[in-house]
Amino acid sequence: MASPLLMPVSTEFEGSVLVLRMVGTYSPADLRAALGAALAAPDRPHLTGLIADLRFSESVASRTLGDSTAIIGFLAYHASSLGNRVALVAPAFGGDTLVNMASVDLRTGGVDAVTFADMEEARRWIRR
């Protein structure tokens, strides 16, 4: 089995926070599968938030509007299982506008969502 760090989409529980890491290129199906598996894990804690780490994603900037909408919809659908809080971590790059739009769309759907450029800032916010 490949190391989670070598997979394009991986998850890790940090206490009651689920960290979803996206690295390189990956499909929306990869993202849904990883998140779905983490939410279905029999030993998962009661979650109070999700940190979506997009710092090393190469796919965000090239997503179609349809893909972005589907991913946001998937996150919104599972928001109650994620404590209705999502921190999106993405440095300023070609896709940062898309990430900011995603946080607005999530907030419109009732999810407390904020975009950060720094992982530690996101951790502090999600745990408050």
**CA 8 to chain CA centroid, nearest Å:** 13
- Using CA atoms, how far residue 67 sits from 4, 40, 62, 72, 91, in Å, is 24, 23, 10, 9, 20
Q: How many structural domains does the chain have?
A: 1
pLDDT tens across the length of the chain (128 residues): 444 456 899 999 999 999 999 999 999 999 999 999 999 999 999 999 999 998 998 888 788 878 888 888 898 899 999 999 999 998 765 555 667 777 777 888 788 988 898 999 999 999 98
This prediction has a pTM of 0.86
Task: Give the residue numbers spanning the domain of 18.
Answer: 4-127
CATH code (residue 110): 3.30.750.24
